[in-house]
Amino acid sequence: MTKSWQRFHGFFRRSIFLKLFVVYLLTAVVLLGGLRAFKFWTLDEGNFFQTPWGRILAHQADYLLGEIGSPPDPEKARRIAEEWGVQIRVEGSGASWSTDSRLPSIPSLRIHDSHAQSHFQASRFRFHPVIIANDDAQRVALFFLHRPSRNVDAWMLMLLIGMIAAVLTGSYWGVRWVLRPVGWLNTGAKEIAKGNIDHQVSVRSPDELGRLAESFNDMAQQVREMIHARDRLLVDVSHELRSPLTRMKVAVEFVQAPSTKEKLQQEIRELEIMVAELLESERLASQGGQLHLVATDLVSIVKEVVGTYASQEGAEARLVVSPRSLVLPLDRQRVQIVFRNLLENAMKYSHPEKGPIEIRITAETDFACVAIRDHGPGIPLDEQSRIFEPFYRVDLSRTRETGGYGLGLNLVKKIMEAHGGEAVLSCSSDRGSTFILKFPIR
């Protein structure tokens, strides 16, 4: 298979417009062929000489035979062929000749009908009628090939090709126009998959595809309501957990056994972080909790957060590349949460003996980039796309050791999106992971 055929085949498989177009092109061809076949089938060839057309041609043949003379004169026959468009073939004991060498021999023609009163027989050559006159000495076949059409010039042919091309192009775009809701649905599904669940597909036609778009919007609405209900439930539960957690913290102080006390305090701390992260996510989404953007030096925030981890045991974090300052409109507290979450994860997983956690701050044309690279076990490929989802945790045995509820990265993502930026896991393997934060430079 050639490359261009493969490309066309690929395009054909992916384009519903082209498929529909081909389907109705084939329909047109089959219909036209069928109509022609039907017309042919209903031809009354067995009674040719009783039909008006047959009678006219028999009359005409009689006249032309008289013009050719007896024995037939080739010169006269040639003139008749030129004037009337009727080609003549003569075969017999004497001379055998024809006005056009491409005419078939008379015995090869199939006889459909014989005239009752004369020696005429009817046949057909490429859909044109043929009348054969039988004499004792010879047979004369008259091929009525003439059609009342003018000579086709090159420009006429061009016009025809242009017209066919215009009709085909017009009908292709017609199919595209009729099926444009398919494109809108496709965009809608992609937007929702990207997380833009408020996206609505515009419905501008009352036909089946328009109704499909309406159903799609209804479905998206249902999903929106389910997500809002889930978020509401989480927030309510988080609120309700705050008072029992405070009471537990007080009660734990009375526990005598130090190891049990330490374990309980750790559990309570984790629950408190989870509740705080859930409530922070909710605050970001609510009207009053929008960002408080102030021109702030991103480099100083990073340095500050890195500094808070300097005295801790375990992996060391180092700012390896950075401009002296990078002032951007930021919500200081929220950006601190972002760095804290990412650095805490990096410190939790990185192997200190393989080197320090590296942080790089660079300024591109449209955005400032902060990359945090650790030397941890990495995140399995099939889980990488899900780690920013709430409550998603990579393999449970690992999480049991490290604690956490899988909310940290989700909060990072939400804060970055609220800033008009993004958080991505740029690469991850068994040699470590690199998370990248992009802040827009407005």
Binding site for ligand ADP (CB under 6 A): 341, 345-346, 349, 374, 376, 379, 387, 392-394, 398-399, 404-410, 433
**DSSP code string of 224-269:** HHHHHHHHHHHHHHHHHHHHHHHHHHHHHTT---HHHHHHHHHHHH
CB of 437 to ligand ADP, least distance (A): 13
Burial degree of 201 (CB within 10 A; 0-12, 13-18, 19+)? buried
Burial degree of 392 (CB within 10 A; 0-12, 13-18, 19+)? middle
Report which of 133, 146, 5, 40 is spatially closest to residue 83, judged by C-alpha positions.
146
Report which of 73, 82, 93, 88 is spatially closest to residue 132, judged by C-alpha positions.
88
| C-beta of 58 vs 409, nearer to ligand ADP | 409
Report which of 316, 292, 291, 319 is spatially closest to residue 303, judged by C-alpha positions.
319
| C-beta of 145 vs 412, nearer to ligand ADP | 412
d(CA 197, CA 52): 74
| C-beta of 286 vs 399, nearer to ligand ADP | 399
| C-beta of 325 vs 399, nearer to ligand ADP | 399
CB of 316 to ligand ADP, least distance (A): 15
| C-beta of 141 vs 370, nearer to ligand ADP | 370
Return the sign of the alpha-carbon dihedral for residues 351, 354, 355, 357.
negative
| C-beta of 113 vs 374, nearer to ligand ADP | 374
What values do phi and psi take at 141, rounded to 5? -110, 130
201: phi > 0 → left, psi -120 to 50 → alpha, else beta; which?
Answer: beta
CB of 313 to ligand ADP, least distance (A): 17
Report which of 100, 87, 38, 25 is spatially closest to residue 61, judged by C-alpha positions.
87
CB of 349 to ligand ADP, least distance (A): 4
DSSP conformation class of 394: S
CB of 314 to ligand ADP, least distance (A): 13
Amino acid at 110: R
CB of 396 to ligand ADP, least distance (A): 9
Residue nearest to ligand ADP (CB): 404
Contact 131, 58 (CB under 8 A): yes
CB of 298 to ligand ADP, least distance (A): 21
Structure tokens at 389: 């989802």
| C-beta of 58 vs 317, nearer to ligand ADP | 317
| C-beta of 121 vs 433, nearer to ligand ADP | 433
CB of 183 to ligand ADP, least distance (A): 36
Residues 6+ apart with CB under 8 A from 223: 192, 197
d(CA 16, CA 1): 23
Gyration radius from the chain CA atoms: 44
| C-beta of 85 vs 195, nearer to ligand ADP | 195
CB of 361 to ligand ADP, least distance (A): 18
| C-beta of 230 vs 247, nearer to ligand ADP | 230
CB of 376 to ligand ADP, least distance (A): 4
Report which of 304, 377, 311, 379 is spatially closest to residue 337, judged by C-alpha positions.
304
